Structure 1
Amino acid sequence: MKIVVYAICKDEVQFVDRWMDSMGEADRVVVLDTGSTDGTVEQLRARGAEVTVETVMPWRFDTARNRSLALVPEDTDICVCTDLDEVFHPGWRALLEAAWLPGTGQATYRYTWSFRPDGGEGVVFWYEKVHARKGYRWVHPVHEVLAWTGDGTPGPTVRVDGMQLDHHPDPAKSRAQYLPLLELSVAEAPEDDRNMHYLGREYLFHQRWDDCIRTLEHHLSMPTATWKDERAASMRYIARAYRRKGEDRTARDWYLRAIAEAPHLREGYVELAYLLYELGEWDGVLYLTGCALAITERPRTYICEAEPWGSLPHDLRAIAFSRTGRDVLALAEARHALALEPDNARLRGNVTLLEERTGYAG
């Protein structure tokens, strides 16, 4: 098979060597550079990438992606879209070829979007930016997705077990352009529930609490907004906004709605448990964290957040058990929390303190 990696970039010279090392399993690497001034173009070419320089004005991610896709030769079998701050684990090509069947449309693979300070995985979900050459086009100014524009129906999506892509972004890079692009995206496609959800979430990031609440309530009212995981996320974001407004009771009600909407997800239980922790309602903390930990299968979607699958549920339970005079149970939970985040000095201190109290050291 002929496999081609394609990408867009601007001022990312710091990532070039690592990215090219990772993408070297492809037959060709083509890049659309949108105006680098830091040597990115020169370094990419020195490493063997085929680079086209072009300004995209006004800036839209879908336009840039489609221009980069146009650089991929027509006789390519598999297109692999990545960004320069992403890295495949070695052996990805062989895994992809083994899974790719005649007529396949897209491939899905494991993606680690963020990492904790100790190097452990944060947000993990499954990605679908590998696709057949013909019939696909990127849509939406930001949070762009592949859309089928070919004749008939797209080919099936195959799962590539073992294919792993890691995201190591530049933390200093601004995301200021996201909000106006999301507002544009919603203006262009007001019926698109996914973009409405993203816009409400972006208002939350920008601390525009009332805009967040208004937008996400609209998302929940949309007839097409039927995916329970995303609906529950909108409810949790509304709850967060009300908390920032100082309205804890209303926030609690929205968290309860989120749990009822998607009881198979940990996030609602853990976020409400944290609210009750701050209010000192220890029995509620224990009940909700117990419900969360009873969910043992981590979802494959981007909705899955890092903290509910890390040390936090056990940490909250340890504190709640200790505050209600059950230090032996607290110690067990504190040890669970520390095992999941072994470099956390506070968690280690909790274990030490509880071992001294209970006499169960080691």
Structure 2
Amino acid sequence: MKVVVYAICKNERAFADRWMASMSEADEVYVLDTGSTDGTPQRLEELGAHVTVEAITPWRFDVARNRSLDLVPADADLCVCTDLDEVFQPGWREKVEEAWTPGVDRLLYRYTWNFLPDGREGMVYWYDKMHRRWGCRWVNPVHEVLQFEGGEPQTRYVEGVHLEHHPDQNKSRSQYLPLLELAVEENPENDRNVHYLGREYFFYRRWEESIAMLKRHLALPSATWADERCASMRLLAKDYFALKMEGEGERWLLRAAGEAPHLREPWLDLADLYYHREDWYGVLWAVNRALAITQRPRTYISEAVAWGEHPWDLASLGYYYTGQLGKALEAAQRAAELAPDEPRIQTNLQLIQAAQPAG
């Protein structure tokens, strides 16, 4: 079986050694450099990569990805698309070979998109950039995805393969907004890109434009995935809170929870709202709905805060202020176990311990 890694890059020499070491389990590595000035192509070649230098003008991620895919030899069995700021945990090749059986078009594997300041994992979901050599092309100017000939691809999960993202925090993402606007202009019925554009407007604090785009997403006939619809509703709530329209914000949070009651995130948003109102019974109602969900989704709609200490912290406060001291202690202990280096949570635990009735 021939496994080939391919990538695009620009000015990422700092990552070259680490990335090539991680990709060394592949048979070959092909890189499209789109205009580095820091010696990235030369260093990659020294480390054994096949490098082509070519400018992509105007810039589009799908065009660059397809050009890099074109570099992959025709006899490759499996193509592995990564970026230079990503690292596989060792041993990935053997597990991939076991999973790549006849008829499979694409493999999904665990992906850590970011890490918290204390080193714990942040957003984790399952990635899908391992695929067959022929009959697929990248589409969308940004947030590009693979489009397969012949209908829906046969996909298989690979347990034990883990890719980590360690990005350059100084790199600008300013190109994302105009590329997303272009993507929606090119394909206004693409519900995923409409959602992403609404989210990007939110990041830029362009509340009204975010509201309009997120409502447009929810109105699209193709926008049927409850998890992403819930995400749009949660963003709408945040837009309205930013505009000081708290009632409208709460209504969208309630709709979000109704849209995807199987997700922790909307319930925690509601618990946070009730916390700020000091509505402790409301906090307990919402946070216990969240904690009743014990299976973390494998999609990108899964936030680290929902699976860390935060829900237990909220529960401890809700129980404490409603006089349920035993339950408050249990929740505070769980929060402290999950965040042993968080001073506020450790202090809360001590206060709740001190408040327990004697004997």
After TM superposition, is the score higher than 0.5? yes
- 1:281 maps to 279
Are 1:316 and 2:350 an aligned pair? no
Other structure's SS at 1:24 match: helix
Are 1:204 and 2:164 an aligned pair? no
State how 1:152-163 maps to structure 2 within 5 Å. 152-153=150-151, 155-163=153-161
- 1:175 maps to 173
Are 1:337 and 2:314 an aligned pair? no
**1:155 CA displacement:** 4.7
- 2:256 maps to 258
- 1:100 maps to 100
- 1:244 maps to 242
- 1:85 maps to 85
| Residue type of the alignment partner of 1:315 | D
Picking from 164, 183, 186, the partner of 1:185 is: 183
| Residue type of the alignment partner of 1:9 | C
State how 1:295-306 maps to structure 2 within 5 Å. 295-306=293-304
Q: Deviations over 1:291-345 (max 9, x none)?
A: 0000001111011111111111111111222223333322221111121122212
Single out whichever of 40-49 and 207-216 deviates more from structure 2: 40-49
CA distance in 2 between partners of 1:33 and 1:185 (Å): 23
8 Å CA contact 1:110, 1:164 repeated in 2: yes
8 Å CA contact 1:5, 1:30 repeated in 2: yes
State how 1:48-127 maps to structure 2 within 5 Å. 48-127=48-127
Picking from 351, 354, 357, the partner of 1:356 is: 354
| Residue type of the alignment partner of 2:261 | P
Are 1:135 and 2:131 an aligned pair? no
CA distance in 1 between partners of 2:345 and 2:69 (Å): 47
CA distance in 1 between partners of 2:341 and 2:47 (Å): 37
Other structure's SS at 2:25 match: coil
8 Å CA contact 1:220, 1:231 repeated in 2: yes
CA distance in 2 between partners of 1:10 and 1:342 (Å): 39
| Residue type of the alignment partner of 1:45 | E
**1:347 CA displacement:** 1.2
CA distance in 1 between partners of 2:293 and 2:242 (Å): 28
8 Å CA contact 1:41, 1:51 repeated in 2: yes
Gapped regions of structure 1 (runs ≥ 5): none
How many pairs align?
Answer: 359
CA distance in 2 between partners of 1:184 and 1:153 (Å): 26
Picking from 338, 345, 348, the partner of 1:347 is: 345
- 1:20 maps to 20
CA distance in 2 between partners of 1:22 and 1:359 (Å): 55
**1:153 CA displacement:** 4.0
CA distance in 2 between partners of 1:174 and 1:60 (Å): 16
Q: Deviations over 1:57-82 (max 9, x none)?
A: 11111011011101100110000000
Other structure's SS at 1:52 match: strand
**1:154 CA displacement:** 5.7
CA RMSD of aligned residues (A): 1.4
Picking from 142, 158, 162, the partner of 1:164 is: 162
CA distance in 2 between partners of 1:172 and 1:328 (Å): 46
| Residue type of the alignment partner of 1:97 | E
| Residue type of the alignment partner of 1:283 | Y
- 1:34 maps to 34
Q: Deviations over 1:38-71 (max 9, x none)?
A: 2211211111111111111111110110111011
Are 1:195 and 2:193 an aligned pair? yes
CA distance in 1 between partners of 2:153 and 2:121 (Å): 32
CA distance in 1 between partners of 2:129 and 2:68 (Å): 13
8 Å CA contact 1:103, 1:155 repeated in 2: no
CA distance in 2 between partners of 1:343 and 1:105 (Å): 44
- 2:145 maps to 145
CA distance in 1 between partners of 2:155 and 2:277 (Å): 46
Other structure's SS at 1:114 match: coil
CA distance in 1 between partners of 2:357 and 2:258 (Å): 41
- Aligned-residue sequence identity (percent) comes to 57
Single out whichever of 197-206 and 347-356 deviates more from structure 2: 347-356
Gapped regions of structure 2 (runs ≥ 5): none
**1:36 CA displacement:** 1.1
Other structure's SS at 1:298 match: coil
Other structure's SS at 1:147 match: strand
Single out whichever of 121-130 and 343-352 deviates more from structure 2: 343-352
8 Å CA contact 1:183, 1:199 repeated in 2: yes
CA distance in 1 between partners of 2:32 and 2:293 (Å): 43
CA distance in 2 between partners of 1:247 and 1:218 (Å): 20
**1:110 CA displacement:** 0.9
8 Å CA contact 1:125, 1:302 repeated in 2: yes
CA distance in 1 between partners of 2:342 and 2:41 (Å): 40
| Residue type of the alignment partner of 1:300 | R
CA distance in 2 between partners of 1:102 and 1:11 (Å): 38
CA distance in 1 between partners of 2:152 and 2:342 (Å): 47
